[in-house]
Amino acid sequence: MDLKSVLATEMKSQVLSSWPEEDICKLIEIPKHAHLGDLAFPCFRLAKEWRKSPGVIAAEIAQTFHSPTFKNVEAVGPYVNVRFDPALTGKEIVSSILKQGVQYGSHPFGNGKTIVLDMSSPNIAKPFSMGHLRSTVIGNALANLAEKCGYETVKINYIGDWGTQFGKLIVAFKKWGDEEKVKENPIAELFTLYKKFHEEAVQDPALEEEGRKAFKLLEDGDEEITGLWKWFKCESFEAFKTIYTLLGVNFDSYNGEAFFNDKMEEVVQLLQEKALLETSQGARVVWLEDETLPPCLIKKTDGATLYATRDLAAALYRQREYSFDEALYVVGQEQTVHFKQVKGVLEKLEFDWARSMKHIPFGLYLKDGKKMSTRKGRVILLEEVLAEAVAMADENIKKKNPHLKGAEAVARDVGVGAVIFHDLKNDRLNDIEFSLEHMLTFEGETGPYLQYTHARAQSILRKAGVASPYTFNGLKDSASWEVIKQLRLFPETVERAWKGCAPSILAKYLLELAKSFNSYYGNTKIINPDPEQESRLALVFAAASLLSQGLSLLGIKSPDEM
Ligand code: ARG
């Protein structure tokens, strides 16, 4: 059982019978320094009720409060600090990890509910950006956490495959494109053509008009133009798939923007029926003044639909198709207003479920402290980042473990894991400084550090040659107790990470777990034929399995050797 609940139960029965156990539980803290105790109960709230100073109350409680599972109880200022009996409590915790296996840390509160995640969603004919990487890895980790909490998930890759930019691209291709070159290197070539269009359009404004016409032809289903569009899409998909395979991310749906072309009329109809559609400078808009938002553009003057129109249709479709209980949009914070508008319009249409739509924004990647920009050449391509990370990991492995079997696969797991972890350890909304060197060191707060810790644990287990199942009979030393306390935080960490939509909570937890494990491992002779060896191995096994499980929730592999 969770230590906080154990303490809360005891508190309720011995001291605070009139308080709900949940309230007690919420107040319980973990002391900053381990030597102060395992858990602390602050007496500030009681001070108001009992009309005494918190320090006096803490001292009073500490005098009588006790339980067989406690080693000692002590008042430290306004806190009642409790230390648990490591042998007794530890046995319960480690045994339940060993028994539950991958089920440990699961929660039932999402059972029977469905979460839809709009994630990754790159744009065809454009490079897969670091922003799309963020959406992909954050979305994937959130989906894993949701599943761990019992939810069904639907991961949707809302590919950006529609919009006026395709008209421009088609014009550019017809004017300057070379089929062979595009086949060789589709995304880079198409992106170059797209950029050329914009450069040329500065001199020759007529190009813009040509682009608009080409897009109109595409919308009207012109055969040649549609053929080109399909080809671009196909080539882009191939390139994206390589990235997804490397990242180990799958999707349940690839219904992108174009999929909703024939589904937007319904939205327009609904808006019309509710008299929400108004004309503004020739365009059709929904006013969102009450929401203090700019009007949501539904149709342009020429009747063309927009990004928001497609998102409205997509939301309707998803609610119908998946009856979601929650819909998460994992998209950069620069689109905050857009998602507020979409939600605002759906609320105006009186769809109750619109309230369960949630934008999950995130910060930018910075290079040398500055925003990346294609124009200024400060752009980083994910494909190159991944390739470089894998190459660096490979070099590292060759130095440290030249005879490693399956080194290629390990280098891939380490390189990719490094990139993913570097992203997820940061609070979602913070900007991230891009640095391959930092991502890949084996020391410090990195993915490879966690993977290495896990591999180390696996290697002792192999060396010990004792096969699982392991049994844990209790250990008395303080280093092992620090590891056990971290282990028991796993379930509540999973819950907090999910509820806060914050994979970083899990990432930071894993670093703490690894730290406590490494200091245990560094100071203890694990393999030593004495009566406690079996328990030590069981503890190593439990730590390794939670490290691996935690990494896997973040979408990171944990090789057994590296
Ligand atoms: N393709 C868009 C972009 O790259 C992201 C799409 C986000 N999802 C959505 N439902 N609008 O900016």
377 DSSP β-pair partners: none
Gap between the Cα atoms of 14 and 23, Å rounded: 15
What structural domains and CATH numbers belong to the chain?
3-84 (3.30.1360.70), 114-254+312-371 (3.40.50.620), 416-553 (1.10.730.10)
- Ligand 1 pocket test, candidate residues 121, 254, 305, 333, most atoms within 8 A of CB: 121
Closest CA to 314 of 132, 183, 160, 531: 160
Which is higher by pLDDT, 261 or 466? 261
Where in 86-163 does DSSP place strands (E)? Answer: 114-118, 152-156
Ligand 1 touching residue 162 (CB < 6 A) = no
Write the DSSP symbol of residue 305: B
In tens, the pLDDT along 386-423 reads 999 999 999 999 999 999 999 999 999 999 999 999 99
pLDDT for position 30: 92
Token digits for 196? 């050329």
Tell me what the mean pLDDT of segment 522-526 comes to. 94
Q: Which residues pair with 83 in a beta bridge?
A: 72
Paired strand residues for 39:
82
Judge whether 31 and 37 are in contact, CB under 8 Å. Answer: yes
For a mutational test of ligand 1's pocket, the pick from 158, 236, 364, i.e. the residue with the most ligand atoms closer than 8 A to its C-beta, is 158
Alpha-carbon distances of 240 from 47, 121, 123, 132, 187, rounded to whole Å: 59, 10, 10, 11, 10
Instruction: For a ligand 1 pocket test, name from 335, 341, 343 the mutation site with the most ligand atoms within 8 angstroms of its C-beta.
Output: 335
Q: What is the mean pLDDT of the chain?
A: 93
* Nearest ligand 1 atom to alpha carbon 314: 10
Which residues on neighbouring strands pair with residue 70, listed in sequence order? 84
Residue nearest to atom 5 of ligand 1 (CA): 121
Q: Is the pLDDT of residue 165 over 90?
A: no
Contact 340, 293 (CB under 8 A): yes
Give the CA distances from residue 256 to residues 124, 357, 375, in Å, rounded to whole numbers and listed in that order. Answer: 10, 18, 27
Which residue would you say has higher pLDDT here, 375 or 472?
472
What is the per-residue pLDDT for 288? 96
In whole angstroms, what is the distance from residue 132 CA to residue 231 CA? 22
pLDDT > 70? residue 193 = yes
Instruction: Report the predicted TM-score, pTM, of the whole model to 2 decimal places.
Output: 0.92
Query: Of ligand 1's atoms, which has the minimum distance to the CA of residue 123?
Result: 1
Q: How far is the CA of 339 from the centre of ligand 1 (A)?
A: 10
- DSSP labels for 352-406? GGGGGEEEE----EEETTEE-BTTTTB---HHHHHHHHHHHHHHHHHHH-TT-TT
Cα gap 102→548, rounded to integer Å: 10
Q: Residue 415 and residue 162: Cα distance in Å, rounded? A: 33
Q: Alpha-carbon distance 460 to 465, whole Å?
A: 9
* pLDDT above 70 as % of the chain: 99
Cis amide linkage into residue 469, ω under 30° from 0: yes
Protein residue closest via CA to atom 1 of ligand 1 = 160
- Angle between helical axes of 165-176 and 186-203 (0-180°, round to 10): 90
User: Which of the given ranges, 23-27, 46-50, 109-113, has the highest pLDDT on average?
Assistant: 109-113
Percent of the chain with pLDDT over 90: 83
- Structure confidence at residue 265 (pLDDT): 94
Residue 87 pLDDT level (bands cut at 50, 70, 90)? confident
**pLDDT tops 60 at residue 377:** no
pLDDT band per the 50, 70, 90 thresholds, residue 28? very high
Contact indicator for 37, 522 with CB cutoff of 8 Å: no
DSSP state of 123: B
Q: Is the CB of 127 under 6 A from ligand 1?
A: no
CA 440: distance to chain centroid? 20
User: Residue 159 CA: which ligand 1 atom is closest?
Assistant: 1
> In the prediction, which pLDDT does 436 show?
83
- How deeply is 4 buried, as exposed, middle or buried, from its count of CB atoms within 10 A (0-12, 13-18, 19+)? buried
Q: How far is the CA of 340 from the centre of ligand 1 (A)?
A: 14
Does ligand 1 lie within 6 Å of residue 41's CB atom? no
Cβ 331 under 6 angstroms from ligand 1: yes
- Evaluate: CB of 121 within 6 angstroms of ligand 1: yes
Query: Is the per-residue pLDDT at 374 higher than 60?
Result: no
Which uninterrupted H or E stretch holds 79?
strand 79-84
What integer is the mean pLDDT of 473-481?
A: 91
Alpha-helix runs per DSSP H in 29-85? 44-50, 54-64
Residue 432 near residue 366 (C-beta atoms within 8 A): yes
Q: Name which residue leads in pLDDT, 503 or 187.
A: 503
pLDDT in the model for residue 376: 55
Q: What is the mean pLDDT of residues 180-205?
A: 91
Handedness of CA 165, 169, 175, 176 (dihedral sign): positive
- Three-state DSSP at 508 gives helix
Query: For residue 311, which atom of ligand 1 is closest to its CA?
Result: 10
- What number does the ligand 1 atom closest to the CA of 160 have? 1
